[in-house]
């Protein structure tokens, strides 16, 4: 059990570690940077920030207060710990089949049953005629060819900036029932995205939802932020048990020279990923051989999207029930019609992507999930506000969670009152740090992570992200509702060694720790080695932490 003094020392060391992760200013007047664009304009976050003024169903005054601070450093607590209360259909989100079908709700078809293979892969962003809902006639005019599985529809909602108006506007553009039915009958689309709170137009609110969700094969993504994204072909990387993502190929670090070596390991992971990170459209052929050579050594499978096509772009939709979404600007754009050659490239990328293994390293949110300092677990955290059984049109839930529940990320304001008051929240997290190549290591099972242990792991310079699998995984501590203070974690000297002797910017562990920025990871099925990681928290304005969806790609 840690003493208060050692606890505070760990906080101090963590602050040193967090500086590069969260771009904390060294000035006397620090300020957070909340970005919408990364990678010199090639990466766009298309998830809406969660704010009190964003529109919400059933409210004329917007979402309202959604964060409370029961534990505050200003009032003597060791850290700032918030609690959030949100409808599951807040901001950028997805609908589960049980939203409109009660028998699916009873059978357990929730957001955790969504197909990751549908949520990830090539996608098409199209502009819809600005004066119309999505009818069968409009769908016909878009000429979306067979074979395209994911389409994001940008409508008049974006031009009218409806998601920036706190009052719900029932005149929003959406699918009419006949448009939804046309899509189901005449296309291969399995993921449908739109730029307001409902995929369905207000006049066909339930009928269109029923058409989309009846088969349980189509996933609906709502309230996407598509303001600055050009129509074109992208690659999607969504998922969620609660949220996440971004790709190593878009690292903003300078490209490192790739040198062939007689062994496999972190240097390969680093060099391949960063070499890829500097790729430009005009240099695809020049670097193609290098990439293929990297891949042939299995050093770091660059599985996100094919680097050899003109559609070397990515869209990340961490979905469930709230979504964090990233998009990378397309090298080419389309206006209405997709050519056969473009379609063939999309399909080739999809086939290549589907060969990759995806490991979900986020824990499911259940009442028995452990909560820090509690013997009773998480408890009941979600309840129905409206119910089809009681005569309502849909099942509509609200959840209440501590921001540091389950698999989650800590923001600087969690530990530091100055940064709390300056606004360093989860929205200010540096997404390129949270996503990219990662090394999973096993630590000695009978010890905490001390300086001696860190030294013995021989993690080379250049490795930026490391997940530490400890005795916590073997003991299955995250599956016990009683909080266990004997968990394995960093000691103060281990943390100091990491800060002083490595280039690590993202660290994760397999329990609810008092120091690691990414906590509560599910590493049961992740053997030691090099992977790609996608980890995106909710965009909680003023949040000191956030549940996050994390996945590994191998």
Is residue 508 one of the residues assigned to a domain?
A: yes
Does the structure show a pLDDT above 80 at 534?
yes
Q: What is the sign of the dihedral through the CA atoms of 498, 504, 506 and 507? A: negative
Does the structure show a pLDDT above 60 at 455?
yes
Tokens of 125: 């962003």
pLDDT at 512: 74
| Same domain as 352, residue 206 | yes
Does the structure show a pLDDT above 60 at 321?
no
At a CB cut-off of 8 Å and minimum separation 6, what does 312 contact?
249, 279, 281, 284, 305, 306, 331
pLDDT at 307: 27
* Of 57-66, 262-271, 480-489, the least confident: 262-271
* Of 98-112, 252-266, 432-446, 487-501, the least confident: 252-266
For the chain, the domain total comes to 3
| Same domain as 546, residue 437 | yes
349 or 313, greater pLDDT: 349
| Same domain as 97, residue 86 | no
| Same domain as 103, residue 164 | yes
Give percent of the chain above pLDDT 90: 42
Query: What average pLDDT does the segment 355-375 reach?
Result: 87
pLDDT at 234: 59
Class of residue 264 by CB neighbours under 10 A (exposed 0-12, middle 13-18, buried 19+): middle
| Same domain as 531, residue 482 | yes
Tokens of 499: 């800060």
| Same domain as 384, residue 467 | yes
At a CB cut-off of 8 Å and minimum separation 6, what does 129 contact?
138, 141
Query: What average pLDDT does the segment 488-514 reach?
Result: 88
Q: Taking the model in full, what pTM does it have?
A: 0.74
pLDDT at 41: 60
| Same domain as 506, residue 374 | yes
pLDDT at 244: 22
Does the structure show a pLDDT above 50 at 4?
no
Is residue 439 one of the residues assigned to a domain?
A: yes
Tokens of 490: 């960093």
Could you tell me the pLDDT band of residue 287, with boundaries at 50, 70 and 90?
very low
Is residue 496 one of the residues assigned to a domain?
A: yes
Tokens of 497: 């060694």
Could you tell me the pLDDT band of residue 89, with boundaries at 50, 70 and 90?
very high
pLDDT at 91: 94
User: How many Å apart are CA 44 and CA 35, to the nearest integer?
Assistant: 9
| Same domain as 387, residue 277 | no
* Of 199-203, 410-414, 437-441, 473-477, the least confident: 410-414
User: How many Å apart are CA 55 and CA 165, to the nearest integer?
Assistant: 6
Residue ranges making up the domain that contains 286: 248-296
pLDDT at 504: 92
77 or 512, greater pLDDT: 77
Is residue 41 one of the residues assigned to a domain?
A: no
Query: What average pLDDT does the segment 93-122 reach?
Result: 89
Closest CA to 549 of 439, 411, 435: 435
pLDDT tens for each residue of 229-246: 777 765 554 332 222 222
Query: What average pLDDT does the segment 113-139 reach?
Result: 87
* Of 31-45, 181-195, 270-284, the least confident: 270-284
pLDDT at 320: 27
Q: How many CA atoms lie within 13 A of 412 on its CB side?
A: 27
| Same domain as 167, residue 259 | no
- CATH number of the domain encompassing residue 465: 3.50.30.50
pLDDT tens for each residue of 372-408: 878 899 999 999 999 999 999 999 999 999 888 899 8
User: How many Å apart are CA 507 and CA 10, to the nearest integer?
Assistant: 14
| Same domain as 121, residue 8 | no
Q: What is the sign of the dihedral through the CA atoms of 373, 533, 41 and 147? A: negative
| Same domain as 530, residue 417 | yes
| Contact predicate 248/276, CB 8 Å | yes
At a CB cut-off of 8 Å and minimum separation 6, what does 476 contact?
none
User: How many Å apart are CA 542 and CA 548, to the nearest integer?
Assistant: 16
pLDDT at 207: 97
What average pLDDT does the structure give for the chain? 75
pLDDT at 519: 86
| Same domain as 336, residue 268 | no
Is residue 206 one of the residues assigned to a domain?
A: yes
Does the structure show a pLDDT above 90 at 39?
no
Does the structure show a pLDDT above 60 at 302?
no
Residues 438-452, buried b or exposed e (16+ Cβ, 10 A)? Answer: bbbbebeeeebbbbe
Other CB atoms within 10 Å distance of the CB of residue 344: 12
Give percent of the chain above pLDDT 70: 67
Closest CA to 50 of 322, 304, 248, 319: 322
Is residue 527 one of the residues assigned to a domain?
A: yes
Is residue 38 one of the residues assigned to a domain?
A: no
* DSSP assignment of 461-522: TT--EEEEE-HHHHHTGGG-SS--TT---B-HHHHHHHHHH----EEEESS--SS-SEES--
pLDDT at 433: 85
* DSSP assignment of 497-513: HHHHH----EEEESS--
Is residue 420 one of the residues assigned to a domain?
A: yes
346 or 398, greater pLDDT: 398
């Amino acid at each position: 059990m840690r003493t208060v003094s050692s606890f505070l020392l760990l906080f101090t060391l963590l602050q040193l570690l967090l500086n590069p992760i969260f771009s904390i200013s060294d000035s006397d007047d620090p300020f957070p940077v909340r970005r919408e664009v990364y990678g010199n304009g090639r990466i766009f976050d298309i998830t809406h920030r969660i704010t009190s003024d964003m529109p919400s169903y059933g409210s004329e005054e917007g979402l309202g207060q959604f964060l409370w601070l029961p534990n505050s450093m200003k009032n003597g607590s060791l850290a700032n710990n918030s609690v959030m209360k949100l409808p599951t259909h807040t901001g950028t989100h997805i609908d589960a089949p049980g939203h409109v079908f009660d028998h699916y709700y009873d059978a357990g078809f929730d957001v955790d049953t969504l197909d990751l293979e549908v949520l990830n892969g090539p996608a098409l962003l199209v502009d819809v005629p600005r004066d119309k809902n999505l009818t069968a006639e409009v769908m016909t005019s878009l000429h979306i060819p067979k074979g395209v599985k994911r389409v994001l529809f940008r409508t008049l909602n974006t031009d009218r900036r409806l998601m920036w108006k706190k009052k719900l506007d029932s005149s929003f553009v959406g699918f009419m029932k006949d448009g939804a039915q046309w899509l189901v009958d005449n296309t291969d689309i399995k993921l449908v995205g739109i730029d307001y709170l409902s995929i369905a137009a207000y006049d066909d609110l339930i009928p269109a939802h029923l058409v989309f969700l009846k088969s349980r094969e189509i996933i609906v993504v709502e309230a996407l932020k598509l303001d600055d994204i050009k129509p074109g072909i992208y690659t999607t990387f969504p998922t969620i048990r609660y949220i996440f993502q971004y790709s190593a190929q878009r690292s903003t670090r300078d490209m490192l020279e790739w040198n062939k070596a007689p062994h496999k390991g972190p240097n390969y992971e680093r060099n391949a990923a960063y070499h890829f990170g500097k790729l430009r459209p005009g240099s695809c052929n020049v670097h193609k051989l290098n990439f293929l050579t990297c891949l042939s050594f299995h050093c770091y499978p660059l599985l996100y999207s094919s680097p050899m096509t003109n559609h070397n772009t990515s869209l990340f939709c961490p979905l469930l029930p709230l979504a964090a979404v990233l998009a990378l600007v397309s090298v080419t754009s389309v206006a209405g019609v997709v050519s056969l050659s473009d379609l063939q490239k999309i399909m080739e990328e999809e086939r290549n992507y589907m060969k990759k293994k995806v490991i979900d390293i986020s824990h499911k949110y259940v009442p028995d999930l452990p909560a820090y300092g509690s013997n009773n677990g998480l408890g009941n955290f979600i309840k129905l506000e409206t119910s089809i059984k009681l005569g309502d049109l849909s099942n509509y839930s609200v959840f209440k969670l501590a921001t540091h529940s389950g698999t989650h990320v800590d923001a600087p304001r969690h530990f530091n009152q100055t940064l709390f008051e300056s606004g360093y929240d989860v929205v200010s997290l540096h997404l390129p740090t949270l996503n990219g190549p990662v090394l999973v290591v096993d630590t000695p099972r009978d010890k905490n992570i001390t300086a001696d242990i860190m030294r013995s792991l021989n993690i080379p310079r250049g490795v930026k992200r490391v997940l530490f699998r400890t005795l916590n995984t073997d003991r299955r501590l995250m599956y016990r509702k009683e909080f266990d203070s004997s968990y394995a974690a960093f000691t103060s000297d281990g943390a100091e060694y990491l800060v002083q002797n490595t280039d690590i910017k993202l660290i994760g562990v397999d329990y609810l720790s008092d120091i690691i920025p990414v906590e509560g990871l599910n590493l049961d099925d992740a053997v030691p080695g090099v992977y790609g990681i996608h980890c995106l928290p909710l965009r909680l304005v003023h949040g000191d932490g956030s549940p996050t969806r994390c996945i590994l790609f191998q």
